[in-house]
């Protein structure tokens, strides 16, 4: 397993278009997270899944955003009617419980979205 | 709401010098994480601190945790240019749904 994979690495889109990103987590990890990071800021939580169930969504996740993890494996994040304020790095992470109750989080390389 | 604050936000230091980055968090946390991020790259895990008084060291970096003060420090010893990056601390706990809340990051520049 090569870690968390995200596709595409970069996406440039025109305002108003829809975009979809994909995340493939580490195969044995049952939790998957989406974060958004804007320039000069720390990552902000968007949503997370335990297997196929979406357990929490941030207030940041407006109704233009939707995330799925249909079979508890890969996940997609779709942004509809993109706005310039959506320009950011979208990071995916997966985690699993380790011995001692520790959660280890592994981040993907991210998808950088630019809305023009 | 769990809040995480780092200081300083920007740090410029000379090679060979020592410095400390501070991370304060607002509510009880189960775990404290430190990450490194190079420009345009993703997050690289450095340390995970679980308990009060925990100290971990890797090379020129040492992290510690004081849960009573809700404070973690990342100490840099004899800095080298390769340490130039942005460093984030993050915390998680069961009441926040076991997901990470990040600080704003400390942008470290080590000058020759």
Q: Across chain B, how many H-helices and E-strands are there?
A: 0, 11
Which residues of chain B does A109 touch, with a Cβ-Cβ cutoff of 8 Å? Answer: 41-42
Q: Which residues, including other chains, have CB under 8 Å from residue B107's CB and lie 6 or more apart? A: B9, B10, B11, B86
Give dist(CA B30, CA B101) in Å, integer.
Answer: 12
Q: How far apart are CA B112 and CA B105, in angstroms?
A: 22
Q: CB within 8 A of A49, min separation 6: which ones?
A: A31, A32, A33, A55, A67, A69, A72, A75
Strand-pairing partners, residue A75, are A23
Cβ contact, residue pair B42, A109, below 8 Å: yes
User: pLDDT, tens digit, for every residue of A70-111?
Assistant: 988 999 999 999 999 999 999 999 987 766 666 788 999 999
Cβ B97–A108 below 8 Å, yes or no?
no
Greatest mean pLDDT among A13-27, A46-60, B16-30 lies in: A13-27
Residue A114: strand pairing partners? A12
Residues 25-44 of A with CB under 8 A from B: 31, 33, 35, 40-44
Q: What is the pLDDT of residues B54-89, one digit of tens each?
A: 899 999 999 999 989 999 999 999 999 999 999 999
């Amino acid at each position: 397993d090569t870690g968390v994979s995200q596709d595409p690495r970069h996406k440039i889109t025109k305002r108003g278009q829809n975009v979809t990103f994909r995340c493939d987590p580490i195969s044995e990890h049952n939790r998957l997270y989406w974060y958004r990071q804007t320039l000069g800021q720390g990552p902000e939580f968007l949503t997370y899944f335990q297997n196929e169930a979406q357990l929490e969504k941030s207030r940041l996740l407006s109704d233009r955003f939707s995330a799925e993890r249909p079979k508890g494996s890969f996940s997609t994040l779709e942004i509809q009617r993109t706005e310039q304020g959506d320009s950011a790095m979208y990071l995916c992470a997966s985690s699993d419980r380790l011995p001692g109750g520790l959660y280890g989080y592994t981040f993907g390389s991210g998808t950088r979205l630019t809305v023009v | 709401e769990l809040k995480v604050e780092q200081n300083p936000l920007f740090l410029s230091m000379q090679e060979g010098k020592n410095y400390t980055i501070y991370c304060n968090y607002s509510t009880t946390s189960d775990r404290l994480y430190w990450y490194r991020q190079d420009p345009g790259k993703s997050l690289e895990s450095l340390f995970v601190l679980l308990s009060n008084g925990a100290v971990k060291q890797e090379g020129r970096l040492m992290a510690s945790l004081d849960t009573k003060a809700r404070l973690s420090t990342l100490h840099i010893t004899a800095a080298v240019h390769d340490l130039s990056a942005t460093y984030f601390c993050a915390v998680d706990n069961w009441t926040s749904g076991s997901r990470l809340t990040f600080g704003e990051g400390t942008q470290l520049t080590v000058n020759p």
